[in-house]
Structure 1
Amino acid sequence: MIPPIASNFVAGETAADAMDHADDLNEREVGAILNLLGEHYEDRADADADADAYVDLVEALAERDTDACISVKPSQIGLEVGDHAFEENLARIVDAADCFVWIDMEDHETTDVTLDAFERHARETDGNVGVCVQANLKRTREDLERLAELPGKVRLVKGAYEEPRDISYRKKARVDEVYREYLTYMFEAFEDGVAVGSHDPAMIDLAKQLHAEHGTPFEIQMLTGVREEAQFELAEAYPVYQYVPYGSKWFSYFYRRIRERKGNALFALRAVIGR
């Protein structure tokens, strides 16, 4: 059972829990991005099992009137087993899905294979697949120029992985600076939509301004349990999606959220106290 302080960040242990959470979000005009927790599988059976779970999830979503899509991690569905295992499992998830499929980005060693997989599936599905890129990587501007030519959506995040100094920006001010630069470029160059993956009010305000200037479709994406009241307020005027993790592997995810930002612990405690 997930303890109250962790349940603020995780929707539950089952797909049913996650879909019920999505329905609750929909009542507040917020969509859901469902993510089964799990990563870095080296055993093909584990990767196949989670891919099976995603196939079951998208089939269940197809039977519900729920504004929800899914997001998968490459290392969860076979990347560390081998490129072939990853591609096989990703293909069958995408083929089974009537909903939008996001491909999460992991550390820099997976960037090329992840973007290559996105390009194949974005073309095959005519844009029903999205991918995440990280502003803290120095290569990201070139990646965005490549992605601008493809159908599908791209999510821009600041980046949570501690990457080597020679390939990444480490200072917060510099990451914020390039995030603004990349977001501006995306609103100018992307036609299928921009996903603003940030809780930073300054970045969200910039996205609103850029949308007003360019008319580029966009959505705001935030995590479960972080600035949720802001999510509901924003959803009154803009498309908002909440990233909704679920599953039995909740502890490592919760621990990472707390380590990433001490303020997340305060969000969780406030939610528990307020119950």
Structure 2
Amino acid sequence: MLPPVANRFVAGETAAEAIDHARRQAKLGIDPMVNLLGSHHADRPAAEADAAEYRLLVEDLAEADLEGEPAISVKPTQIGLDCGETVFRDLLGGVLEAAVTHDVFVWLDMEEHTTVDATLAAYERFARLSDGRVGVCLQADLERTLDDLERLADVPGKLRLVKGGAYDRPSEIAYTTDTRIDQAYRRLLDRAFETVEGPVVVATHDPEMIEYATDRADGTDLEFQFLMGVRPRAQRTLATEYDVCQFVPYGTRWKRWAINRAKRNVGFTARAVAETLVPLGNGETFEEEVGVSVPVHESPATSGLESTGE
């Protein structure tokens, strides 16, 4: 069992716990995007082990018969990219084959800027081979991303649009101030509405950016993505009108992830601690009991479904 606070942001240490959480969210109209925590495996056996667990996970998700569309989210360095592109593609191909068989969508996370080319190349290849059963993350803070969007707009998959990632970016290739990153994200959304076929996937917790997307969509289908434990009321509210997907992490490597989430979401963390110390006793969360929207304190550069290098 995870300690208090951590269990707000992590579903548990096992796939069964993640699927139990996913089942509860599905009843609220929120689709799960399940992730086995871990990254940067430098040896092939470790990467193969996580790839094997993902293959089992998609079987379990299919057997759970969840409402909506279940998905998994995979970090390229978790399944072999640090061992070379050939290893990465071999292992990703196996995961994707299982996912297609069991009708589970596969998302590729984006990590350091040095992994972008290999990740996008794999996405483009496998999205075409799987008839669009793959999605990939595009980070607005990288100056190259508008060009990447143009190149990938007609690929039969999905593009997850985030503000940025958790890794440091050289100023020569990235926007590094909050204002410029916000501007870049708005430009990315605008261009996506003009060029992307299918839904535009908006992955941010920033209320201003969510409002911007809903105002500018002009008939384009929208999907919103959130992290588990962050703005749960907003997730439920949006799910009454739009497709909403929640990133559901699990695994034994949860400590760094939970610490990072707690640091970036001070309001939720304080309330989780308060609820632990003074239980409400009626099954309600502190947020629901007091009837207020809890502010989320997060860095604009990392307010999407970014990799955190756990």
User: If the TM-score is normalised by the length of the shorter chain, which range does it land in?
Assistant: over 0.9
Matched AA of 2:176: R
Aligned pairs (5 A) from 1:41-190: 41-66=41-66, 67=68, 68-97=70-99, 98-160=103-165, 161-190=167-196
Q: State the SS of the aligned residue for 1:63.
A: helix
Aligned partners of 2:262 and 2:175: how far apart in 1? 22
Bigger mean CA deviation after superposition, 188-197 or 71-80:
188-197
Matched, 1:217 2:199: no
Match of 2:9 in 1: 9
Structure 2 gap ranges (5+):
280-310
Q: Secondary structure at the match of 1:59?
A: helix
Q: Deviations over 1:56-79 (max 9, x none)?
A: 000111212213210000000000
Is the CA contact 2:41–2:78 (under 8 Å) kept in the aligned structure 1?
yes
Alignment of 1:190-229 (within 5 A): 190-211=196-217, 213=218, 215-229=219-233
Q: CA deviation at 1:238?
A: 1.0
**Structure 1 gaps, min length 5:** none
Superposed CA deviations along residues 250-271 of structure 1, whole A, max 9, x for unmatched, are 0111223244x2xx13212313
- Partners in 2 of 1:193 and 1:121 — Cα distance? 19
- Asked if 2 retains the 8 angstrom alpha-carbon contact of 1:6 and 1:268, the reply is no
How far apart, in 1, do the equivalents of 2:6 and 2:267 lie?
12
Distance 2:51 2:185 in 1: 32
| Cα distance in 2 between the residues matched to 1:52 and 1:44 | 12
Partners of 1:7 and 1:199 lie apart in 2 by 19
Note the alpha carbon deviations across 1:102-145, whole angstroms, 9 max, x for none.
00000100000000000001101111100001011010010000
Write the distance in 2 (CA, Å) between the matches of 1:79 and 1:258.
29
**Length-normalised TM-score, structure 2:** 0.85
Aligned residues: 270
How far has the Cα of 1:216 moved from its partner? 1.9
Distance 2:141 2:211 in 1: 20
Deviations 1:203-225 (A, max 9, x none): 111111222x1x22220001011
Please give the alpha-carbon distance, in whole angstroms, between the structure 1 residues aligned to 2:221 and 2:272: 32
Q: Secondary structure at the match of 2:5?
A: helix
Whether 1:236 aligns to 2:237 is no
Would you identify which runs of 4 or more consecutive aligned residues in structure 1 move more than 6 Å? Answer: none
> Does the aligned pair in 2 maintain the 1:9–1:268 contact within 8 Å?
no
- In structure 2, give the amino acid aligned to 1:46: A
The two structures, once aligned, show a CA RMSD in angstroms of: 1.1
Q: Counterpart amino acid of 2:233?
A: E
Q: Any conservation in 1 of the 2:44–2:83 contact (CA below 8 Å)?
A: yes
Tell me the equivalent position of 2:269.
Answer: 268
Inter-partner Cα distance in structure 2 for 1:170 and 1:104:
21
- Cα distance in 2 for partners of 1:180, 1:19 equals 34
Q: What percent of counterpart residues are identical?
A: 51
Length-normalised TM-score, structure 1: 0.95
The 5 Å alignment of 1:29-48 reads 29-48=29-48
Counterpart residue type for residue 41 of structure 1: H
**Shift in Å at residue 202 of structure 1?**
1.1
The CA distance in 1 between the partners of 2:58 and 2:149, in whole Å, is 28
Say whether the 8 Å CA contact 2:120–2:136 is kept in structure 1.
yes
Corresponding residue number in structure 1 for 2:306:
none
